Structure 1
């Protein structure tokens, strides 16, 4: 019987094979801009604030579950010492391809974000986690591992879906339909769907409270409301103490 994470790996590999829009790699223009000092990392339709990425040159940065040829190459072009870890080989292949083509030094590791034992304590100045925590049943495991590998005073940036993404279902009616809040949190796709897709909806207490319990101070927060009213995304910057 496959584990949850073996199934998730297959799911992500399939998304890469089918060219899901969020698996697109960095463009030539974005890479050149990062080299010239204009590093831009996207937070859905917004950007990661410039001040969150200031003085990144020479810092040790971990892209946590962050493969796909996007964040890691851009950070490397900006002068960071970059490591990327991801569960999906197909996503990591995108980083390998760009690293080879652009002559970038990126440490590429296949692994699970719940187990960072391949990294020593106090290794990274910054850990950046693109949307992926919705594939993890227990956030505390990840947060504790990130705290261990982050230097004192180092930072942890996460991007994730707000719980509203999982609370509502769409109801069709004669007026065109509407959203109805029907689910309690936390939420798991396997409780409602027999497909192979696995996803978890976490509460804000799990996210923000979990970071605090694991030894982080939250010192930055942003939201991005997408066109669909249930697609509310958030980004947090936390500092390890």
Structure 2
């Protein structure tokens, strides 16, 4: 399906990379006809064979060269990397006409794989076996550097970088990300982001450590430390929240009986606007005796789903005492199989997503159970605040680099963020994930709010003290669109075609 060939890597014959959804080739070309006056150029040409038109990715140039800014020729869909007056990495402006690779379009991933496969041809030209391991990629780089000068190495970095990324995708479960950014594509592995192309480029330019094998070994070690099995994390958090069922911060002994008007007055303004009377409301992860009873007294038909049986028992006790009706289920928010599709008008979710390894699955379940036009009000721990730890010696907050935060007993409270519950496992999902995945599964965001928690006089290391530096929480109000395929991105694609 793909045709790929590589010319030699010497100055007399620079390298051109020609890509399309159906074919990719890297071929030598004559320098007399294709060299720009200001130096070596790498062109990327892409046929308009996908619904948004031409795409491109930035190609890293050798040290000292200029930044390739990619522009689109509207006439024929050709995309060419041209020079700018700013060094690479210092020019942040991207022309409006740029159209970049889509993170979900399979044609672009096929293009990456086609370029990566071309490394076999390079190896044959260098009289080496086709590289199957990272160590063999290291050997290929060393051999190529010995026989080439700098100007031919830019496209080699792209090809070998893509091959390295593909090895990690297939062998370690990594995935390509950042395909819409004005930087070379990255891979994500267990929450860590790495740039294979720039790693190869640095190796080609300087030859300094780490080798590709050393860099990959360090990344794999870090990913092993952050890997957590979903079932194990869910069970650990269930046990932790059962133990917290007697903590007054998360559970109420009793709440007073209220009239409907009093209950409505006690609602969050976003929920007041939804007029709960007669609405089918799903409360996710909010058991403990307070929220469910309040919503029911405000007129909602309430269903509660929580991981903790002990917390749910408090809701049932409150309901029996107050004479109100509600349904309750022990389940994780990313597995709502007991709730029928499009059977809910409003989903309310207190802080929950940080206890789930994958927010996308939970968002999809919420989207499934909500009717079209239904609202989703959620609160989340902000990722930076969740990883911030007070250092009393330096008198400042420092960030834990990990995105998977392990369970720590009560004795370790001072070594974790004040937002954390010591015995839980938590996941510091980025704000881009919390917002972006919400839109991607079929919601439109109507409101975003950072609740006020700051107090400059609060004790150092407390939530209120942390809030003076970083907002600890965010609240999001979103509304379900017609179906997952009706996302704004998908609708924009249809308008283009």
TM-score bracket relative to the smaller structure: 0.7 to 0.9
Q: CA deviation at 1:169?
A: 2.3
CA deviations on 1:102-130 (whole Å, 9 max, x unpaired) are 11010111111111111111011000001
Work out the CA distance in 2 between the residues paired with 1:196 and 1:50: 32
Any idea what the Cα deviations from partners look like across 1:42-70, whole Å, max 9, x if unmatched? xxxxxx22565432100000001121111
Query: 1:27 — aligned with what?
Result: 255
Partners of 2:244 and 2:250 within 8 A in 1: no
- The residue that corresponds to 1:67 in the other structure is 287
- The structural deviation recorded for 1:15 is 1.0
Which residue of 469, 472, 478 maps to 1:238? 478
- Whether contact under 8 Å (2:264, 2:272) holds in the other structure is no
Change (3 A) 1:102 1:191: closer
- CA spacing shift, 1:33–1:148, aligned 2, 3 Å: same
Which structure's residues are more often strand, by fraction? 1
Which residue is 1:45 aligned to? none
Which of 195, 203, 209 matches 2:430? Answer: 203
Within the alignment, does 1:80 sit opposite 2:300 as a pair? yes
**1:137 lines up with 2:377 in the alignment:** no
Distance change in 2, residues 1:225/1:83 (3 Å): same
Which residue of structure 2 lines up, in the alignment, with residue 163 of structure 1?
383
Matched, 1:183 2:401: yes
Q: Any conservation in 2 of the 1:169–1:179 contact (CA below 8 Å)?
A: yes
Q: Secondary structure at the match of 1:101?
A: helix
Structure 1 CA distance, aligned partners of 2:271 and 2:248? Answer: 30
Deviation at 1:132, TM superposition (A): 1.4
| Contact 2:407–2:424 (8 Å) recurs in 1 | no
Q: TM-score, normalised by structure 2?
A: 0.43
* Number of matched pairs: 228
Whether 1:8 aligns to 2:237 is: yes
Q: Which ranges of structure 2 fall in alignment gaps of 5 or more residues?
A: 1-228, 413-421, 454-463, 482-497
Change (3 A) 1:223 1:88: same
| CA distance in structure 1 between the aligned counterparts of 2:424 and 2:365, rounded to whole angstroms | 25
The answer (yes or no) to whether the contact 2:304–2:329 under 8 Å persists in 1 is: yes
Measured in 2, the distance between the counterparts of 1:191 and 1:131 equals 17
The answer to whether the Cα contact below 8 Å between 1:70 and 1:95 also exists between their aligned partners in 2 is yes
Q: Using a 3 Å threshold, how does the CA distance of structure 1 residues 10 and 240 change in structure 2: closer, same or farther?
A: same
Backbone CA RMSD of aligned residues: 2.4
Quick one: structure 1 residues 103 and 161, their matched pair in 2 at CA, closer, same or farther if it must change by over 3 Å?
same
SS at match of 1:165: helix
Deviation at 1:145, TM superposition (A): 0.4
How far has the Cα of 1:182 moved from its partner?
A: 4.6
What residue number does 1:151 align with? 371
Unaligned runs of 5+ in 1: 42-47
Normalising by the residue count of structure 1, what TM-score does the alignment of the two structures yield? 0.86
State which structure, 1 or 2, has the greater radius of gyration over its C-alpha atoms: 2
The alpha-carbon deviation at position 26 of structure 1 amounts to: 6.0
User: Cα–Cα, structure 1 residues 200 and 101, in superposed 2: closer, same or farther, change >3 Å?
Assistant: same
CA distance in 1, matches of 2:254, 2:303: 16
Shift of residue 231 of structure 1? 5.2
1:40 has 2:269 as partner = no
Structure 2: distance between partners of 1:191 and 1:77: 37
Q: For 1:61, what is the secondary structure of its paired residue? A: strand
Q: 1:25 to 1:148 in 2, by over 3 A?
A: farther
What is the CA distance between 1:192 and its match in structure 2?
Answer: 8.7
Displacement, 1:33?
5.0
Q: Secondary structure at the match of 2:311?
A: helix
Contact residue 114 and residue 145 of structure 1 kept, 8 A: yes
Equivalents in 2 of 1:102, 1:189: separation in Å?
39
Q: Higher relative CO (CA 8 A, sep ≥ 6), structure 1 or 2? A: 1
CA contact 1:34–1:74 (8 Å) conserved in 2: no
1:222 equivalent in alignment to 2:222: no
Which residue number in structure 2 is paired with residue 44 of structure 1? none
